[in-house]
A and B are shown apart, each in its own frame.
Chain A
Amino acid sequence: MTRINELPVTEDMNLVTAVTHTLRQEMQRDPSVRVMGYDIGPIGGVFRATEGLFDEFGPERVIDTPLSENGLLGVAVGMAMRGERPVIEMQFLAFMYNAWGQFIYNLANLHQKTGGAMKVPLTIRATFGGGIKPLPFHSDSTEAYLMHTPGVRVVCPSTPAQAKGLLAAAIRSDDPVVFLEHTKMYRSFREPVPVADYTLPLDKCRVVQEGSDLTLIAWGNMLHYSIAAAAAVAAATHASIEIIDMCSLAPLDVAPVLASVKKTGRCVIVHEARRTAGPGAEISALINEYALEYLKAPVKRVTAFDVFFPENQIEDAYLPSPGRIKSGIEAVLNYQF
């Protein structure tokens, strides 16, 4: 695997332009890669993630489909099992609930049901997450639904360069992969992204910052809020905080989490997903099962609440903020048995 920092030629990209750039590069590399979905043709996606691709590759490589997530997913699985590599766009993760049947019966189960004889090399790009104040069911962060299903990989990048490597790996993977794109991050910042093609592992989390006093786990946009919160705590207390970007949500990359918590003895998990049976529940349970004797404080979850994503005026109170994350970190750091 090529190391990103060994690729000298870069272009500044944000998350959405990194996605477009990667889709174009993968489509040029492999004719079996086809982009499918509704509003992905001439309009280039409601977030413009497929902008220009219809002109460049034509309607058989960039397939604008009828508006049905279930039909889209089912038809794409039928193509994938025959050797195509469809990359389908779920305009919003919450729109995919309509495709629940195809997601489980066919996408996730086909490889197992056929004893490994058939495979489904399909990528679902789904936008998710809150913070841009759109309409209801445009902000859900329900990755736990996906993680509960065997047979599917789930990844979530938090930077443009990481997005490129993970999306290329997802497209080239023979497993079905859900690639989560946080809408708030689409245009929130740019960074240099190597122009040459490269992949990143789909099953490895990323240690963003090493530390010895507390393990802070987050992904997507919450990673950036967590980095800000950790910096604020460190500035005030000189606490040494280890930050893990849990970009590989399924299968969950457990070993580095356990190793980190055994080192720090404290852990805070941050996510936009609802708390009950959310991803943090699984991570916390694993720590409880396999690192209990190393703990110096209870594991805390700084998450959204167990309610529907609320109306625009009050969504900021629903989403974990850097301030709320800072409070979580402080509570765990200051706890004494």
Chain B
Amino acid sequence: MGEKKWAEVRPSEDYFRILNPDGSVKDGAKASVPEVSREELLRWYEVLVETRTFEAMVLRLQRRGVLSVAASSRGEEACGLGAAAALQAGDWLFPAYRQLSAVLYWNAPVDRIMAGLMGNTPEHIREHLPLPPELPHSVNMMPYPIFLGAYIPLAVGCALADKLNGRKHVSLAFVGEGSTSEGDFHDGLNFAGVLESPCVIIVQNNQWSISVPASRQTAAATFAQKAVAHGLPHERVDGNDIFAVYDTVKKAVDRARAGGGATLIEAVTYRILDHNSADSSAVYRTEDEAEYWKTLDPVERFEKYLFNAGVLEQATKTAIEERAEKRLREEIDRGRAVPPTSPDDMFLHHLQGEPGWSVKHQRDELACELAGGNPFLDMTGEGVQ
């Protein structure tokens, strides 16, 4: 471990905020509290509880060796949820890395997520955890990308396809602040501007891309202002304030749907925990800043608001927590019960139709090896016996 660490630069809090960290409504912001039904507010709260519960369960499973790696969105949950709640069924959602709350809001099947974390192929998961014939109305969710920023041009094209065909759908994509340094981010924004693509790009600025702080990603004052050069409108919001995120994204989504083009939104938040279970943030940063950000926690803030507003009471909170715990445990058990994927699955779905001579031959080689044979005895190309 080196001795030097990065100095942290606290981002400006000169951003759009509705809820104060103590759950009160910011002075003068009362008029801008978004109109959301009591049921919807409780749904948001439930998704936040589920997100936190599931990620804690997954982290424990990783520590027990059940999963090879696990990441958490703790402290950032309002970004994904506030944005996802602004979408409509039929829209498209391109997650980046820490948007579990977004997909849970739209009823992503947790058993399938678990089976995916266990390293099963999509084909295998589909076979063992079939979806019900009547799917709930939902958005279209892209799989987690792993690569950084490369979904941004894709989301722009996806939205453009809807526009060119007169469909009123919006595509929403997330990117971390580190990935704004990737060319893909700028390619996407540039094309979105020129082609007037109905999409919304959200920079979930959690201050750290593994070990590199936001101050080393850009010399610009904010990530939001990167939209200026691409001719796009931009907003910068308190990413730990679910009302601010929802309200801002909703306006951007509505504008895109109405033909007004793309918007870039920076949601300012903080990665409280390590990058993932393979990381140790103590190596490169002091923990003081994380302590500060814990006082801005998005879930506690929203919970306080709900209590103050009379939407939530202790009995309801306990019931939501118990229901989440029970449901997630069952879903995780179902995901873990999926039998191991066959190695042969690796050959599936690279091309439609015939995969070609070499892939067919290699597939036979692996089958031969797994059956205890020597796969290298074909000297004439007539096939592995």
Chain A: residues with CB nearer than 8 A to chain B? 34, 60, 63, 65-66, 68, 70-84, 98, 101-102, 105-106, 111-117, 119, 150-151, 153, 173-175, 203, 250-255, 258, 262, 286, 289-293
Contacts and interface: CB of A to CB of B under 8 A. Distances in A.
A290 B164 CA distance: 51
A78 B158 contact: yes
Contacts of B121: 115
Interface stretch (B38-46, B190-198, B262-270): B190-198
18 contacts: A66-B190, A74-B153, A75-B188, A78-B158, A79-B158, A80-B157, A105-B145, A106-B154, A115-B123, A153-B351, A175-B352, A251-B355, A252-B356, A253-B356, A258-B380, A286-B381, A290-B379, A291-B380
Given A115-B121, A255-B357, A102 B143 contact: no
B358 interface: yes
Contacts of B380: 258, 262, 290-291, 293
Candidate in B151, B188, B350 with the most chain A CB atoms within 10 angstroms:
B350
Say what secondary structure dominates the interface of chain B. Answer: helix
A79 B352 contact: no
B153 A102 contact: yes
A56 to B, nearest CB: 17
A286 B380 CA distance: 10
Given A82-B161, A252-B356, A112 B154 contact: no
B381 A75 contact: no
B65 interface: no
Nearest to B92: A82
B135 to A, nearest CB: 13
B114 interface: no
- Chain B residues touching A, range: 35 or more
Contacts of B162: 82
B194 A65 contact: yes
A251 B184 contact: no
A74 B317 CA distance: 44
B122 to A, nearest CB: 3
A77 B357 contact: no
A78 B190 contact: no
Contact of A112 (B150, B164, B350, B358): B350
A19 to B, nearest CB: 23
A286 B187 CA distance: 40
A78 to B, nearest CB: 2
B356 A71 contact: no
Nearest to A60: B164
B157 A112 contact: no
Nearest to B187: A71
A153 B320 CA distance: 51
Contact of A82 (B150, B158, B187, B190): B158
Contacts of B126: 115
Interface string B143-155: 1010100111111
Contacts of B143: 113-114
Contacts of B66: none
Closest 7 CB pairs of A and B: A251-B356, A78-B157, A74-B153, A115-B122, A71-B187, A290-B381, A75-B157
B283 interface: no
Interface string B265-290: 00000000000000000000000000
Contacts of A101: 147, 150, 183-184
Contacts of B190: 66, 68, 71
Given A70-B153, A78-B153, A258-B380, 16 more contacts: A63-B195, A65-B191, A66-B191, A74-B184, A75-B195, A81-B158, A83-B161, A112-B349, A112-B350, A114-B143, A114-B349, A115-B121, A115-B122, A116-B122, A117-B122, A151-B350
